[in-house]
Structure 1
């Protein structure tokens, strides 16, 4: 999508939740390449520091910082959003990459303990980041809230009941946020939303280390984390009204 350092993200302030994993590392690096000021958060300080260092190394002179934040605590998440806006003067995006997976061999073997974990990782963190950043994203004038979701939310399989249900709930919450942006836009000047919430849908993610571990695996329909990062950057190229409330499919629709 070609968003370089002189594109829509030049000078934009983008927060990335769950920045320490492979998708986070790729996203930090690509956002920095596009000229953004990037603020990552993760609950693993070591992993986060490695991701921040990698993004800085790949983009000399880029502003990439990291902070250990408990996204399961709403007050901590709000404080993080407030610190970003105070330090950098604005917030132009929140990319939500917090993930986790638990599954079972069959529906009958579904373990509700998996739901207890996934509800926190996949729903509660979305609720907290969306509430914490909602007002700041509108103040930025071209804000984006991006949820990374899975095709299983639309077509659950027997062994993925907890995971699919949690992802579906996170999508519904994000779409409600999008409706909030829409209503705020029409209540103002009537020129549409000043921010957008959207969902990027993958089947699953793959990265170089996974391929190295399983050289014979096909990973059919999987999205490479670099391609995900490219899609994230491209969302700022589109008008908020065209992005808001939509799903961007990076894999085949179920």
Structure 2
């Protein structure tokens, strides 16, 4: 367990409200195109980025592309592995200030009858990584003077269709879990916030997502906690905009 002097020391090395200087941000599922974009933007803004993934070669490539990133190999679907990861992080950094969950992937097709157990197992594993990381690091984020948690969800949650029923159900579970975290923060940690970025597809929105992640630390937590930020491409596909909408509950 971290003592009060550890917490005080971390607070002193962190930047003022709105600043990422001295903040420690963990990216779960960091080796995707969106993970690289988010890592690059956070490092440029002054954060220390802990990039976590399951493939060491992909993490090595990320470290080469984004100098300064601290890479960690971990199976985030294994709660004991996440607990060990947290122990190692706490030994070096005392706590984290941000958790950006980018683990995911689409599986579907075949209508309701064609929703396979194999696809569901894959999607459920992605959700399990959110459950594990958020449970293990919840106290870190609540104790931080600027704790932030963000996930990427899908517009399929609001408009599910038969061929993507597995996918929409898994994303709906992640949405609900994050809303529950937001409710916990509202009661226990007013300086922390949990938010959801909603996309139809992340393709082409990686830079917009990265900018929105960095901007989380510039926002008053009460204005983004429990909020869906819908990212959409413009008609010409060259620019994206966000349409924030508060989640009920």
Q: 1:155 aligns with which of 150, 153, 159?
A: 159
- Could you tell me whether the CA contact under 8 Å between 1:104 and 1:111 is conserved in 2? no
CA distance in 1, matches of 2:88, 2:144: 15
Q: Does 1:180 align with 2:184?
A: yes
CA distance in 1, matches of 2:119, 2:211: 31
Larger CA deviation: 75-84 vs 129-138: 75-84
- Could you tell me whether the CA contact under 8 Å between 1:52 and 1:66 is conserved in 2? yes
Offset at residue 238 of structure 1 (A): 0.5
Q: 1:65 aligns with which of 38, 47, 70?
A: 70
1:200 corresponds in structure 2 to: 197
2:222 corresponds in structure 1 to: 241
- Could you tell me whether the CA contact under 8 Å between 1:25 and 1:52 is conserved in 2? no
1:189 corresponds in structure 2 to: none
Aligned-partner SS, 2:152: strand
Q: 1:107 aligns with which of 83, 88, 112?
A: 112
Larger CA deviation: 38-47 vs 74-83: 74-83
Offset at residue 42 of structure 1 (A): 0.2
Offset at residue 232 of structure 1 (A): 0.8
TM-score by length of 2: 0.83
Q: Does 1:168 align with 2:169?
A: no
5+ long unaligned stretches in structure 1: 57-62, 186-192, 207-222
Aligned-partner SS, 1:250: strand
Per-residue CA deviation, residues 17-68 of structure 1 (Å, 9 max, x unaligned), is 0001111111111110111000000011111111122111xxxxxx311010
Q: Does 1:38 align with 2:49?
A: yes
Per-residue CA deviation, residues 128-149 of structure 1 (Å, 9 max, x unaligned), is 0100110011111110011111
- Could you tell me whether the CA contact under 8 Å between 1:28 and 1:52 is conserved in 2? no
1:225-236 superposed matches below 5 A: 225-236=206-217
Aligned-partner SS, 1:136: helix
Q: What is the CA RMSD across the aligned residues, in angstroms?
A: 1.8
CA distance in 2, matches of 1:226, 1:25: 10
Offset at residue 194 of structure 1 (A): 2.4
1:139-154 superposed matches below 5 A: 139-154=143-158
TM-score by length of 1: 0.81
